[in-house]
Amino acid sequence: MKAGDLLQSADWKAEKHVPVIECPDAVKADEMFDVKVSVGKEIAHPNTTEHHIKWIHVFFKAAGDKFAYQVAAVDFAAHGESAEGPNTGPVHTHHGATVTMKTTKPGTLVAVSSCNIHGFWENSKDIKVS
């Protein structure tokens, strides 16, 4: 078994766990741009103490390069926990974030999300550079 075997993929419009990557299709070399990653854009994912998205990690593989780079690791840490019991706390972190990055090379962004009970899900998006 390989680590990649743990990653599930599907159409994000039909499967609520798949991370959605929103960013420009093409960017200018070495110029900052925003990448928004989220889970549940089309079909909401629960955000409860028992069932929630724990994190989204973002990677970039430049075209032609051998190795990939990690762009961001975002933890979603509050899910209604409190001393009173599950789902009684006032704070919930939403499972979405915007990170800002730049690249001198075109390539592919890969996002991996983690549901605490439904495992790991991936998605990708190509970026052109001019």
What percent of the residues of the chain are helix, what percent strand, and what percent coil, each to the nearest 5? Answer: 5, 45, 50
Strand partners, 96: 38
Q: How far is the C-alpha of 18 from the C-alpha of 13, rounded, in Å?
A: 8
Q: How far is the CB of 89 from Fe ion (least distance, A)?
A: 19
92 is catalytic: no
Closer residue to Fe ion, CB minimum distance, 105 or 118: 118
Which parts of 70-129 interact with Fe ion (CB under 5 A)? Answer: 115, 118
Closest chain position to Fe ion (CB) = 115
Q: How far is the CB of 130 from Fe ion (least distance, A)?
A: 38
Go through the chain and tell me how many residues it has. 130
Q: How far is the CB of 107 from Fe ion (least distance, A)?
A: 29
